[in-house]
Chain A
């Protein structure tokens, strides 16, 4: 089954404790991105990657890191989480940008205390 998977689905952590949210897709997509969803703000892009070893900042990259060492994986790293990073996070993949359909993972709900 074609899908985007994320782990964990739910995470509670404390300020400053490094964490990683994994994202994997099995559709051989070149383009992957991370979004955060906050009430009233819709989805805002954090980082994106056009291909392996190619990443770039989205609209809200502060406090986040990403890497793209393999085509299928695109982990999101919070080196020192803060309460304002409490949010619902989505990974998405597609064949490209522009008119391409994005396929979303199920989401990771993060609470930073």
Chain B
């Protein structure tokens, strides 16, 4: 069965600094990997996802993530943080089967310091 671990429940960075949110997964078959973002008082929305092909995936709002099979990781990065990036971020994994359900990590709250 698949699982996902997000390191750090809270990350704080200065505006303009690099954002790095860590995600490691466990899966017995090739995984599908997702990052979802939740802004205050809203539902989750997809930031980006990896299914097959290029391991560097670009998403909305300047975010990107790289699938590293050898490290079982899918870390989320953004070169320069903006105040509007303050939100909770969830990494998620499902398996390459149409019947596989998605498993979410516990979330990382990103704060941006002025």
| Binding-face segment, B13-21, B66-74, B77-85, B91-99 | B91-99
A45 interface hit (Cβ, 8 Å): yes
B101 touches A48 (CB 8 A): yes
> Chain B interface mostly helix, strand, loop or mixed?
loop
B106 touches A40 (CB 8 A): yes
B56 interface hit (Cβ, 8 Å): no
Neighbour of B107 across the interface among A42, A98, A106, CB < 8 A = A42
Given contacts A42-B90, A96-B98, A101-B49, A106 and B43 within 8 Å (CB-CB): yes
A-B interface contact total, Cβ < 8 Å: 61
Given contacts A40-B9, A42-B107, A101 and B100 within 8 Å (CB-CB): no
A107 interface hit (Cβ, 8 Å): yes
A101 touches B46 (CB 8 A): yes
B100 touches A97 (CB 8 A): yes
- Mask, B11-33, CB within 8 Å of A = 1, is 00000000000000000000010
